[in-house]
């Protein structure tokens, strides 16, 4: 689209493509299926590139190297379930294109009728040790008259196993990942159910870009392009296809992390 392409800095146009860094290990957003990179962020990145006439050239790198690689000029932008924070905004630009949060995962059929985190009082609750989910559960448990039995576990895979094996009643994990795991997992996901009515620890996930003059110009161009994809219905179709409509935004935001930082640990 010419009007959007004209907003892209010449330094990017001259390369003929967008170099996008991604970790490729965070389903359903960025992961490999049969050796091929796929996921919602991959689809969105390709749609952005197509709209701008700049094919998306994804580079799979360790997550820890994405932001420093963008700052060092190795990549034009990053798309890899990147959280927008005020601290990061001091040195980089962020185009927030979706919200993400924590979901409650239960056994198929939801035998304890869990509808919110308040319903976990008195239950066996698994969390990933040291993460936001542990903070949420500890805050809720302090309000429970019938205390939870909390099990901090080393990895998310352990939490899903705890639900399937009956060692836990509830597990908390990222909403999109929980939804993906409940639908996949080589059949093991059939034993799981995601409580979809409520998310906790909600914040932005964003496209990361440089804070240089050209980087800021590209930031505005990318934001306008994603807004165009929202308005055209392309964006919505990507979310519908993966069952992630709860994460959609009606309009992107640039460097807006402060909106959620004071409510990140809100309960019901």
pTM across the whole model: 0.86
Whole-angstrom Cα distance, residue 112 to residue 93? Answer: 43
What pLDDT, on the 0 to 100 scale, is given for residue 189?
A: 59
Average pLDDT, the chain: 94
Spatial distance between the Cα atoms of 175 and 235, rounded to a whole number of angstroms: 19
The percent of residues above 70 in pLDDT, for the chain, comes to: 98
Distance (Å, rounded) from C-alpha 264 to C-alpha 268? 12
DSSP string, 197-251: EEEEEEEEEEEEEE-SHHHHHHHHHHHHHHHHHHHHTHHHHHHHHTT-GGG--SS
The ranges of the chain annotated as CATH 3.40.190.10 are 2-99+203-255, 101-201
Residue 195: enclosing H or E segment and its boundaries? Answer: strand 192-210
pLDDT above 70 for 208 = yes
Nearest to 260 by CA among 207, 202, 176, 205: 202
Phi, psi torsion values for 83, nearest 5 degrees: -80, 135
- pLDDT band (50, 70, 90) for residue 188: low
Distance CA 94, CA 210 (A): 9
Position 186 scores a pLDDT of 55
Q: Each residue of 161-185: pLDDT tens digit?
A: 999 999 999 999 999 999 999 988 6
Question: How far is Cα 93 from Cα 215, in angstroms, rounded to an integer?
Answer: 8
**Domain covering 2-99+203-255 assigned CATH 3.40.190.10 in the classification:** yes
Q: In this structure, which CATH number among 3.40.50.300, 3.40.190.10, 3.40.640.10, 3.30.70.100 belongs to the domain 101-201?
A: 3.40.190.10
Q: Is the CB of residue 67 less than 8 Å from the CB of residue 92?
A: yes
Which tens digits make up the pLDDT trace of 14-63? 999 999 999 998 899 999 999 999 999 999 999 999 999 999 999 999 99
Question: Which residues lie across from 105 on neighbouring strands?
Answer: 171, 194
- Burial of residue 113 (CB within 10 Å: 0-12, 13-18, 19+) is exposed
Single out the residue of 83, 82, 42, 99 nearest to residue 248, CA to CA: 99
User: Alpha-carbon torsion 115, 193, 245, 8, what sign?
Assistant: positive
- Predicted local distance difference test score (pLDDT) of residue 1: 81
pLDDT digits (tens, 9 = 90+) for 112-139: 999 999 999 999 999 999 888 999 999 9
CA distances from 79 to 41, 76, 136, 192, 243 (A): 6, 10, 26, 28, 19
């Amino acid at each position: 689209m010419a009007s959007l392409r004209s907003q892209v800095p010449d330094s990017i146009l001259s390369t003929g493509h967008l170099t996008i860094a991604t970790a490729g290990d965070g389903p359903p957003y960025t992961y490999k299926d049969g050796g091929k990179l796929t996921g919602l962020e991959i689809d969105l990145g390709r749609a952005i590139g197509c709209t701008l006439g700049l094919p998306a050239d994804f580079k799979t790198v360790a997550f820890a190297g994405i932001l420093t690689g963008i700052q060092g000029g190795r990549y034009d932008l990053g798309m890899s379930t990147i959280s927008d924070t005020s601290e990061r905004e001091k040195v980089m630009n962020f185009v927030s294109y979706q919200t993400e949060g924590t979901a409650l995962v239960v056994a198929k059929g939801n035998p304890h009728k869990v509808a919110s985190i308040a319903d976990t009082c008195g239950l066996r609750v698994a969390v990933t040790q040291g993460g936001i989910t542990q903070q949420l559960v500890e805050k809720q448990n302090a309000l429970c008259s019938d205390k939870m039995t909390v099990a901090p576990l080393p990895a998310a895979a352990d939490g899903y196993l705890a639900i399937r094996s009956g060692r836990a009643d509830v597990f908390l994990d990222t909403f999109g990942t929980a939804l993906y795991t409940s639908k996949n997992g080589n059949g093991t996901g059939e034993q799981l159910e995601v409580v979809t009515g409520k998310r906790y620890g909600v914040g932005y996930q964003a496209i990361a870009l440089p804070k240089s003059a050209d980087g800021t110009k590209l930031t505005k161009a990318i934001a306008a392009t994603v807004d165009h994809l929202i308005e055209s219905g392309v964006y919505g179709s990507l979310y519908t296809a993966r069952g992630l409509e709860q994460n959609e935004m009606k309009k992107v935001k640039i460097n807006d992390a402060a909106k959620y930082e004071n409510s990140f640990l809100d309960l019901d």
